[in-house]
Structure 1
Amino acid sequence: MLSETCFAQDQIQILHHDSLRNVHLREVVVTAVQSDSPDTRSVIGQDAIRHIQVTDLSGLTQLLPGVLTRNPDLNTPAAFTIRSISHSDPTNALGVAVLVDGLRMNNNSNLQQAALGGIGELYNSSVLTGFDVRAISPSSIESVEVIRGVPSVRYGDVTSGVVLVKSKAGIQPYMAGIRFTATEKLFSIGKGIGIGTHGGTFYLGADYALSAQDARQPEQTYQRIGIQASYAKDFPSATFRMNLRGFHMQDKNEKGANMLDGEYQKAMSQEISFLVNGQWSLMKSWLTSLEYEAGMTYGYQRNQSNVYNSSTQQVTTYELQTGEHAGYFLSPNYFSYLSVEGKPFSADASLIANLRRTIYNKVYNHFSLGVRVGTEGNRGEGVCFDPLSPPVELIGGRTRSYRDIPFVWNYAAFAENKAVLPIGRMRTELQMGIRLNHLQTKSLHYAPTIEPRANIRQVLWEHQEDGYLNSFSVRVGWGLMRKMPVLAYLYPDKSYTDKNCFTYNDVDNGQRLTVLHTYVTDKTFNSQLSMPVNNKFEFGVNLKIKGITADIVWFREHLRNGFRVVQQAEPFTYRRYTPLIDKGANPELTDKGVMNDGELLSSTPNSTFALYMRPQNGIEQRKNGLEYILDLGHWRLLNSSFLISGSYIKVEEKNNILSASYPQIELNGTPYPYVGIYEATGLLANLVTSQLSSTRFQCITQIPRIGLITTLTLQAVWLDKQRRGMESRYDNPIYLADEKGNRLDGNPMIDTEHRKRLNPVYYMDGEGNLHRFTQEMATDKRFADLVLEAGTSTAFQEDSFGPYFLLNLRVTKKIGKHVSVAFCANNLTRSNPKKLARSTQQYSLLNPELYYGAEVNIQF
């Protein structure tokens, strides 16, 4: 019998029939496939998903060019990133659109935070980043398309790329899967049936996952329960699809390290989504078909914690108005319970009219005109805790209901034309469109935005017969893409600052009083918050020579106005009363102030600053790189296929927004009188430049007589660099200083011996006025505390690693007609080289640890 391995760009197809054992291996695709389309996209089929044995959707990124291997970790929220060096890049992840069967799974309405900017950060919350794709079980997926290039104008609210997930549907055999690893247990089952002769098809599937990532802490667990149902029916001139999907996820940390009995952290997320879509074929001269879609998602999210606080000896207040108020003495030891409940909801509907026709000289044209309307909101109870036993990180915080936040409405219209123009053996494919967006909120009034996008593919040569050059094509893509602000940015809570004015605590006589001045500001709201926009351009070449296929893409992206939360300051004045030292006093708070025995206590006005977090458009990303896929074809002698893929990517991320920093010190018994306004804080860097170059060498081998397919992958990282820097827009660079603070000559980006310092651009006085900071002030005792200093003398050294290597193995074995087993191992040789990071002078281990797992699939 004939044994043949066929390749299509970066796909490996294995076809074989062994007459001796009657084992038939159907067509198998175990890598991502470059779609035959004008844009750059990777198609990942069910066989590849099963072969690489991922545990959540983000694990599929390892099939994309240049993405490094990472071990599954269901105990940590996971987001999908596209053309990113880091798996945890929140700017990139927020700009990725994840659509399941056409319905958006976004994170816009996620408000699971105690306060804006990470203050009181919640356990395993995915707020302010991409959708937590742990919710999507790989066992429920039929295929995934990842649009890495310029997407169609059909897709909006996106800056990084689009992930199109197609769920299992239609008539399917009984499928049951079991997977075991050292840390995870996963189970799945599904079946699709036909309903009568003309009743359509119905599919039902379910899955369960349990993960305990650290064997030393078995109480730290993750659970997922998923269910999926779909119905489909085809009519003579129409199609109808209905999908229902739901999941329940829970992260739990009980009795973990340094935790007492009764302490715990929990994060629970539930969601149900419903979608109806289809197409109506009209076949009119002016209208070929109508596509319709309507869907909704409703979620329930809750973060809970119970933490024991000891030796606090603090006072607090729960007032919501500016002024002096009597406060509360907290117990020295107590449990604090915190609950943050969200109920995100989204709904949208769209209608698309299509006109398809073949015109003169076999020119094919497809024109689409569509409209979409959607709404998003959150009706959760919000942040709740007992003000008499608040979490320590929320002392001074307030509860907040999310039900007061109004819904956001999105309106969009687009027009797109696709054309195929054949000219001899050449062919031109055009995809050009324009999208009009309008975001309607009660907080901000956005003007409509326009997003033009275009993809052009020119097939210069396409010859199906045997020859030296089988095909040669080039493609170009360009487009603008925007991302709407999430609810947390559109409707931040007010900021509350509490200052202690007076405290008297006579335990023996039972007399105690604490007075706090509360200052409330609503400047957390940013009326100038705009939408990030990404200008994306790419150029690709695809050619096939004697069975060897190469696909190379060069891309450049420039994202402006990316979201960032920065600290701001606002001055206010409060009174500090003369303390009472003698016992037996009876102080009380009146409208005039604190009085004792009918006399008003003397007080001193103090000026200080309220610090608050505010959303800003402060991130700018410049990205360029090269992706390549080289398919070397099938080597019959070895019965193996060879694939080389990889990328080089350089990302420059800069923070363009000034932020405030206030020294928490006192001078002569009064608060420090100034706030510094800086271009950078912390590590004194506002620019991070990262570079990564890697190649993946894959050998896919089939042993037909025993029904075995193996994939051996060597991952080589040639270049792994990162460097922090400082680019001042105010002529205020980093400088070197001696022990006395005197400025020295030299390049601080190269020097490794002297201190690195940064002056503020401005300083704010007690009246709220900004003054330009001068170099002379850096040695003035009044302002010296505003000068920032890097923690190490090597802070701006480049961290450069490589080359280093990693070996992975995937094995799939078919046993009879109904059973297949699979085995996976990451870092098979336990290669974890130890490298020194020059910037921090600390060592780290490269590559993930050894990871292995096995999976059994039964089909009948």
Structure 2
Amino acid sequence: MDKAVIPEALIVLEDPKDDAFQMETMSDKEGFFMFRDVPPGRYKLAALKEGFYNNSLFDFDVLPDQSYDVTIRLINQKGRWNSEYCFMIGGIEVKAVEKDVIQSEMVTTRRIDSGEIDHLQADNLGDVLTLVPGVEKSRQIGLSSDQSIGIRKVANSYTTLSGNETFGTTVMVDGNVINNDAMITGMSSSLASGIDLRTIPADDIESVEVITGIPSVEYSNFADGVIKVNTKRGQVRSRLKGKFNPDTKGASFSSGLKVPFGGTLDYHVNYAYSERDIRKEGDEYHRFYLSTAYSGDALDKKLDYVLKGSYTRSLDDEKPTDANRVGRHSHDYRTTGGLILKYKPDPQLVYSNYFNVDMNRKNNYRSRWVNDQIDTVYGYIGELWEDGREWDINYKLLRDKTVKQKNGNETGTLYGLEFSYQKNTGSGVHLDSIYNYYGAYSTRRSYSFDDYPGFPKLSVYGERNWKWKVRDRSVEMMLGLRYDAINVRGLDISAGNDGISFLNARQGEFLSPRFNTRIELADGLFWRLGAGRSVKSISLSHVYRNSAYVQTFIDSQWVEVEYKQQNPDLKSYYTDKLETSLDWKATDWLGLTLTAYYQESKDQPSTMAYPVGYEINPDTLTSLTYSLMENTAWSKDRGVEFSLNTKRIKNLKFVFNATYRYSLRGEEGRYYDSSVDTSWEEIWVPNPETWKHKIILGQQTSYINQRLGVWLTVDLQYIPFDQKRTVYKSNSIETVLEDHPVTLYQGMTYWYDAERWEYGDHWVLNARLSKSVGQNTEVSLYVNNVFDDPGLWIDPFRGSIYELNVPIYYGLEVSTQW
């Protein structure tokens, strides 16, 4: 992305109609070149330089007695994942994502580059992740609603992912982990979820890596997978972009410049606006975003440094115009600042330092009509306010050494240390004690964030890597071990039933071993195997739930009693994962990959309700309850992934993906039921289990023509199989309901709750087209659900009709750079 001049580049002028005509010259030390006495005609002008991708200008018209100033941009190959080719369609970089048709790493990773993001017209990170096969999202693309992601999770039909399903995926932006660990409020849900991906604009993203396998021990704080986002920096070319569609409109500007002391300053500004329901006033979402990065090198280029910062402001409003008088606003902003230092004393050794400070300012309001009676008042407007700041401070130190031996073998060692601190400050959540937002008889009251302590975390890890050649076959292996201590309160070296303890870590100490290998079985055929454990820290909102207040009749009067709902000993949870893959490069232009995986997660946080008076009598039966977060939830996921990739053949490229996912989840122990028929039901009931599975087929065909400046992509997704079922383990009774002889289990709301739900099949077709309208300008058009097929599904039990596909969604994007 550096706009430096390129000396000694070969410039070739060719006449497509005359193979014998060719003129050549070289650029000088200032990057200038010149052709003299060129006959009038239409030419192809090409530039070539070792270490850069070639670039050609087609249909260049030369008129008699005219001179021309021509700028040819060459893109550096460094850090481009060994792309086979790269050229521009207007301002969009078009390149092969990988040189080979199969991946070359031990860890299952899918990469998305800036060209694909531009071509998709993505607005935010959530949109970008639709390019990853089999990844389930919580919502459609755009800004109309929250977006979160669950790696290798199953979202049935019209349902969405929530809670632990999205909380277990970690997002990293330029090495900085962004999550909701510092969140302490439970105003919207009792379970913390993944971050809202709308807050990360796509226009500032250089590349995205989605790690679904077992990664290096460097990566932490995840249960399901890691999403690595790299933003643009390095004197970015000036670029102006505008987006238009019925839901979202936005504009962005990026640029970079040289600054004193040899560094570069890059900045990116973005504004986006969504009008979610054109029939409703005051139902808009605004996003303002600014990021800057100052980067350079020192000490004879042995030290690289990056000083970066960002500011994201969200204005999410909904005025109370409906019958329920539902109103809200979320006027939050997030600021981040970070310093990256990489010192390379010799070519084989690198010391990396990452320091980041994140602050999420919360300013939220909710209101609604509450249909409760208080004395002579029948109904009222309940209101809720939230005011606070989430602080997240992180430091990471890495030592990475690679030794290449003369026989071609290679060894590497990695050591690391991490420290982080999460804290929530502010006046907290405010509720009217009489006209309570949650109802006149709600057990919720106001509470302050300042009352709760912070979360210090400490991690150390080490890893060893090997690469060998055995009888001309490559063999790779990685062994690593990571130690995480969460919510450290001091030293506590002891031995107990859970093993040796080193620190007093309130939320747990964990050892996470990880192993990967990749073996070349035959020419073009590779086998990969990985196994390991990863730990996900719980959120402050899991531990520090606000107290419940219950009206109890004591000594001939009603007294409000406080029940603590905090669980300071709640533990973080972990996931064990096993994965194996076969990668076959059938020919130079065709590759196939088959992956099978299994992962099991235990001790996930979940809400447990207790009756008031439980401490005195566990068999208490009352509708008055309080709740605690406990480590009772678990999940088991398995699946198979198949992909077929081709290289681009005569401007065409073909990709096919097939994904099968199975998920089983439940909770240990029993749950409390306050309304029981004691003739056959129990007060404490065994928890049910829910399984769901799904097949997703995807096919992508793309056509690129450099001469015409056209990039056309068509995506077809077909879901032939989508089922779920809840298995009850409670007491049952045989009865007849709605003329149906059924087995009714305790805990069921309807007789069909235990039935198998089949959502049938549905498909959707998406298309996008990018066309250059000059050397540096392009126009892109996309249409999702081209045929506006709603994918109708009729609920066989209730008769309700649902649309499994989102409605047709289209837009236009124009950008230019200089």
With normalisation by structure 2, the TM-score equals 0.81
- Whether contact under 8 Å (2:606, 2:632) holds in the other structure is yes
| Residue 578 of structure 1: aligned partner | none
| Alpha-carbon distance in structure 2 between the residues aligned to 1:817 and 1:133 | 33
How many angstroms does 1:158 deviate by? Answer: 0.9
* Matching of residue 678 in structure 1 with residue 637 in structure 2: no
| Residue 151 of structure 2: aligned partner | 82
* Matching of residue 20 in structure 1 with residue 63 in structure 2: no
| Residue 500 of structure 2: aligned partner | none
TM-superposition CA deviations, 1:243-275 (whole Å, max 9, x none): 101101121101432255xx7311222111111
SS of the aligned residue for 1:383 comes to: strand
| Alpha-carbon distance in structure 1 between the residues aligned to 2:242 and 2:580 | 43
Identity among equivalent positions (%) equals 19
How many angstroms does 1:444 deviate by? Answer: 6.9
Question: Which amino acid is 1:535 matched to?
Answer: D
- Whether contact under 8 Å (1:16, 1:704) holds in the other structure is no
| Residue 656 of structure 1: aligned partner | 668
* Matching of residue 243 in structure 1 with residue 298 in structure 2: no
- Whether contact under 8 Å (1:519, 1:610) holds in the other structure is no
RMSD: 3.1
- Whether contact under 8 Å (1:550, 1:631) holds in the other structure is yes
Equivalent residue runs for 1:416-815 within 5 Å? 416-440=463-487, 445-461=506-522, 471-499=524-552, 516-522=558-564, 524-526=565-567, 529-546=570-587, 547-571=589-613, 608=622, 610-636=624-650, 639-663=651-675, 676-680=683-687, 686-726=688-728, 728=729, 732-738=730-736, 753-759=740-746, 788-792=747-751, 794-815=752-773
Query: Which deviates the most, 202-211 or 274-283?
Result: 274-283
SS of the aligned residue for 2:750 comes to: coil
| Alpha-carbon distance in structure 2 between the residues aligned to 1:401 and 1:162 | 33
> Relative to structure 1, is the Cα distance of residues 562 and 49 closer, same or farther in structure 2, using a 3 angstrom cutoff?
same
* Matching of residue 41 in structure 1 with residue 109 in structure 2: yes
> Relative to structure 1, is the Cα distance of residues 486 and 459 closer, same or farther in structure 2, using a 3 angstrom cutoff?
same
TM-superposition CA deviations, 1:655-678 (whole Å, max 9, x none): 22422121399x9xxxx9x98212
How many angstroms does 1:129 deviate by? Answer: 0.5
- Tell me the number of residue pairs that the alignment of Structure 1 and Structure 2 aligns: 713
TM-superposition CA deviations, 1:88-111 (whole Å, max 9, x none): 242131111111111111101112
Equivalent residue runs for 1:149-188 within 5 Å? 149-188=213-252
> Relative to structure 1, is the Cα distance of residues 724 and 140 closer, same or farther in structure 2, using a 3 angstrom cutoff?
same
| Residue 71 of structure 1: aligned partner | 140
Query: Which deviates the most, 416-425 or 361-370?
Result: 416-425
| Residue 366 of structure 1: aligned partner | 412
Aligned match for 2:122, one of 35, 54, 60: 54
SS of the aligned residue for 2:166 comes to: helix
| Residue 291 of structure 2: aligned partner | 228
| Alpha-carbon distance in structure 2 between the residues aligned to 1:457 and 1:39 | 9
Segments of 5+ residues of structure 2 without an aligned counterpart are: 1-13, 17-52, 62-71, 73-86, 490-503
How many angstroms does 1:436 deviate by? Answer: 0.5
| Alpha-carbon distance in structure 2 between the residues aligned to 1:2 and 1:533 | 64
Aligned match for 1:413, one of 443, 446, 460: 460
How many angstroms does 1:17 deviate by? Answer: 4.1
> Relative to structure 1, is the Cα distance of residues 302 and 734 closer, same or farther in structure 2, using a 3 angstrom cutoff?
farther
> Relative to structure 1, is the Cα distance of residues 68 and 527 closer, same or farther in structure 2, using a 3 angstrom cutoff?
closer
SS of the aligned residue for 1:164 comes to: strand
TM-superposition CA deviations, 1:205-231 (whole Å, max 9, x none): 110111112222242111110110001
How many angstroms does 1:698 deviate by? Answer: 1.3
Equivalent residue runs for 1:236-315 within 5 Å? 236=300, 237-258=302-323, 264-283=327-346, 288-309=349-370, 312-314=372-374
- Whether contact under 8 Å (1:834, 1:843) holds in the other structure is yes
SS of the aligned residue for 1:379 comes to: strand
How many angstroms does 1:309 deviate by? Answer: 4.5
SS of the aligned residue for 2:183 comes to: coil
Segments of 5+ residues of structure 1 without an aligned counterpart are: 4-13, 119-126, 315-328, 463-470, 504-514, 575-605, 681-685, 740-750, 760-787
Question: Which amino acid is 1:620 matched to?
Answer: W
TM-superposition CA deviations, 1:313-358 (whole Å, max 9, x none): 32xxxxxxxxxxxxxx685454443211221001111211222212
| Residue 849 of structure 1: aligned partner | 807
- Whether contact under 8 Å (2:151, 2:225) holds in the other structure is yes
> Relative to structure 1, is the Cα distance of residues 202 and 435 closer, same or farther in structure 2, using a 3 angstrom cutoff?
same
How many angstroms does 1:446 deviate by? Answer: 4.3
> Relative to structure 1, is the Cα distance of residues 735 and 178 closer, same or farther in structure 2, using a 3 angstrom cutoff?
same
- Whether contact under 8 Å (1:573, 1:608) holds in the other structure is no
| Alpha-carbon distance in structure 2 between the residues aligned to 1:65 and 1:733 | 41
| Residue 217 of structure 1: aligned partner | 280
| Alpha-carbon distance in structure 2 between the residues aligned to 1:494 and 1:675 | 27
- Whether contact under 8 Å (2:124, 2:199) holds in the other structure is yes
> Relative to structure 1, is the Cα distance of residues 389 and 609 closer, same or farther in structure 2, using a 3 angstrom cutoff?
closer
SS of the aligned residue for 1:93 comes to: helix
| Alpha-carbon distance in structure 1 between the residues aligned to 2:470 and 2:805 | 50
How many angstroms does 1:704 deviate by? Answer: 3.7
SS of the aligned residue for 2:119 comes to: helix
> Relative to structure 1, is the Cα distance of residues 362 and 527 closer, same or farther in structure 2, using a 3 angstrom cutoff?
same
- Whether contact under 8 Å (2:168, 2:225) holds in the other structure is yes
| Alpha-carbon distance in structure 2 between the residues aligned to 1:34 and 1:531 | 36
SS of the aligned residue for 1:176 comes to: strand
